[in-house]
Chain A
């Protein structure tokens, strides 16, 4: 195996790709589908993923696209395997090429027995030919129906029975369904099966984007309102929750700016509704004055930040883990907050709900920090829902004082209107009733009240389940990582005999649980997508000094092979 360059610059695919048969004992299959922006590549990828899911596979889909609406080069990699997958390989078994660029850019990824399925009208290469123009005009279809033809061609090539694919097409392509199915069948009939894909069987698993899994988590936590301004890669949450708002009985609103977003959400929260907001780094910059207000006035709120490559506008459609320290310290003054970082659909569902619970239990801002890879990647996940116990709210005493000085620092919440009572919220330092003060003793009392909340939050958070241990759990070599990168690291841990330790909750940092997870470790390698090494800096705050730092900062997530090569070099 030749080394590959991973940090910045062009990545050279010089390695001999692991094909589906060489990839250990687990049967798996990868498909790359590519074309121009506007060709519906991502949606076609989702249909392919859904077919694999219906055959009983676990599926992960990586979506790569530039920041433009028409043209450019879009591609998706759909990886299906018999065990859960959260990353993709360098190599693929099939490339579906809608344009020449797809064939030229990616043919180096093909496994030895891989093949390119391509549109002869637009692509010149070798492989499985299909003339979409001829097919579409023969059946009086429209160009976008070429996607259905290609999906059909893929599964025909793989030897999947028509009866197993057709119901998925019916479900996933509701528009002009009859014509789409006619064209799918025509493409099917032109080709003959060349391979025999194994069919694991079992119930199809839900296949959703990371953003959608987070959205479901917020719903599970009892969300009443979601307020957001569009910003890649977080917009998927806004679109998803808006699409199911009536069904779920929630309000979804898109106002004039992120400044308005967070203040509206705080208004919702004051009036007794559980509210969340979502954004990326730039939008979060605008939210910081509202964040500090939530800290001072002790207004519960959930904030989802999906990171993309910065600084500033950066690479809008590519990934990063470079906003963690900003989020951890954002806002003037000092106040407690909670930060969680999911890496799997089940974690997103659980943490989305937990964020709502924490925000309202401790009256603090609760963050879900994720990134483009997780937000816009698609994952099959479990359809078994855990129970989400209802929130228990402590009853206020009357006459009501919003900032009643309680032993745990948490004053009971009351939403207006309440007969004979007033609820006063204040961004100034305030007394127990919520009236502005500059008194030294009250200032100290209020600071210490918030400090006691932080202490309670620390105790609540520092539990074994706040730290994920994976891979070879007793190995002396440990890779520490967080967020979506854990998905890549975990897949190679067992084969390379290292332990994976990853904080699910990053603030307050669960140091006791983390130290327990590091028991017996003699070497620490940190893997993260930032140039400064942000989780590395947090670890050092707690006296944990890593031996190796593997950073990446070109906006692209590592493939399993890229990361494996880099980790092996320092093992």
Chain B
């Protein structure tokens, strides 16, 4: 039991037993406690969630939160961060949520390098709507909307993020919590857009535990600032075929980010308007 019980809210947890969300919740709680020890108070954090099983996580934390809409974590988080750059804004999103409904926001957030952290609970299936395919479901996946199996390959989200200009790209696995904790901590500290694709299992609709346990390995982070190396690491697994699945931080670089560090002028509004009216006379 953590000494900081106040981080957990009174809301009743309704995730399925064995759900990968528990591990993400546990890791995140650990990271927040670490930040508190480092002197960053918990009220500086704002969690933004989409809609789906993952999103319940914001109800379970006794932290500032904005439980938003399906696919829309990123624009909400962007507005919050632009409004107050002192806040640490973390998006919790699902793969259907973020990679289908809200994909355009993800690409643009990476492009503009907004200083927020995105944690995608990627279970490669819609859980809350009962088992349909998502953009990262494997080729041939049979769900209730695609009983004959899907005839499209999944989106390699790592390649897409690198191609969009993301300055921090990582993959974690819900059953490797030490790595998950470290990556979440580093992502929040990263000054720019940080994305973590967290592979997790859906205990009810898509239980990949034994396959993932066999496939995953921790990749070297020695060349983390090299873009071409990051691309090669990202291409090792296409979210469909069997084979090794690299975990870790694939890419990390520093480039100009939003919000720009500049003070907004405090103005006498009435005088500003009067000046403009005079200018337009």
Contacts and interface: CB of A to CB of B under 8 A. Distances in A.
B277 A272 contact: no
Given A248-B272, A383-B281, A424-B64, A259 B75 contact: yes
Interface in A403-458: 415-428, 430, 434-436
Most buried by A among B81, B264, B266, B274: B264
Interface string A40-73: 0000000000000110000000000000000000
B151 interface: no
A155 interface: no
B165 to A, nearest CB: 14
Interface stretch (A84-92, A202-210, A366-374, A467-475): A202-210
A419 B43 contact: yes
Given A255-B108, A260-B75, A264-B76, A247 B270 contact: no
Nearest to A419: B43
Contacts of B208: none
B10 to A, nearest CB: 8
B272 A428 contact: no
Contacts of A435: 9-11, 59
A266 to B, nearest CB: 6
Contact of B87 (A208, A224, A265, A271): A271
Nearest to A217: B273
Nearest to B63: A422
A272 B83 contact: yes
Nearest to B83: A271
A417 B44 CA distance: 5
Given A268-B79, A385-B274, A249 B64 contact: no
A290 interface: yes
B62 interface: yes
B84 interface: yes
Interface in B8-65: 9-11, 41, 43-44, 46, 48, 51, 56, 58-59, 62-65
Interface in A215-264: 216, 219-220, 222, 224-225, 227, 244, 246-251, 253, 255-257, 259-261, 263-264
A383 B279 CA distance: 11
Contacts of A261: 75
A541 B272 CA distance: 43
B67 A247 contact: no
Contact of A206 (B11, B76, B266, B280): B280
A430 B82 CA distance: 26
Contact of B72 (A220, A263, A265): A263
A273 interface: yes
A382 to B, nearest CB: 9
B66 A244 contact: no
Contacts of B86: 417
B2 interface: no
Interface in A534-557: none
A251 B264 contact: yes
B267 interface: yes
A37 B278 CA distance: 29
B69 interface: yes
B108 A260 contact: yes
A351 to B, nearest CB: 15
Nearest to A222: B269
Contacts of A222: 269
Nearest to A251: B82
Contacts, number: 182
Nearest to B277: A206
Given A255-B75, A256-B105, A436 B67 contact: yes
B78 interface: yes
Contacts of B77: 267
Nearest to A271: B83
Most buried by A among B43, B264, B275, B280: B280
Contacts of A207: 280-281
A417 B79 contact: no
Nearest to B9: A435
A22 B266 CA distance: 52
Nearest to B81: A267
A289 interface: yes
B68 interface: yes
B104 interface: yes
Interface residues of B, number: 52
B108 A417 contact: no
B210 interface: no
B48 to A, nearest CB: 8
Size range of the chain A interface in the assembly: 35 or more
Contacts of A420: 43
Interface in A172-209: 203-208
Given A249-B264, A422-B64, A417 B280 contact: no
B277 A425 contact: no
B64 A416 contact: yes
A247 B83 contact: no
A246 B265 contact: yes
A444 to B, nearest CB: 20
A244 B271 CA distance: 13
B1 interface: no
Contacts of B278: 206, 383
B56 A436 contact: yes
B206 to A, nearest CB: 24
A270 interface: yes
B179 interface: no
Nearest to A378: B280
A260 B64 contact: no
Contact of A257 (B66, B67, B104): B104
A266 B83 contact: no
B269 A219 contact: yes
B276 interface: yes
A249 B262 CA distance: 11
Most buried by B among A224, A385, A424: A424
Given A246-B265, A385-B270, A289 B67 contact: no
Contacts of A272: 83-84
B80 interface: yes
Interface in A484-517: none
Nearest to B50: A427
A95 interface: no
Contacts of A225: 79, 82-83
A258 to B, nearest CB: 10
Given A256-B108, A270-B66, A385-B273, A247 B79 contact: no
A264 B77 CA distance: 7
B47 to A, nearest CB: 9
Given A216-B276, A249-B267, A417-B86, 4 more contacts: A250-B264, A256-B105, A257-B104, A267-B76
17 contacts: A205-B281, A206-B276, A206-B281, A208-B280, A216-B276, A246-B265, A249-B266, A253-B82, A267-B76, A267-B77, A267-B80, A268-B83, A273-B84, A383-B281, A420-B43, A421-B43, A435-B9
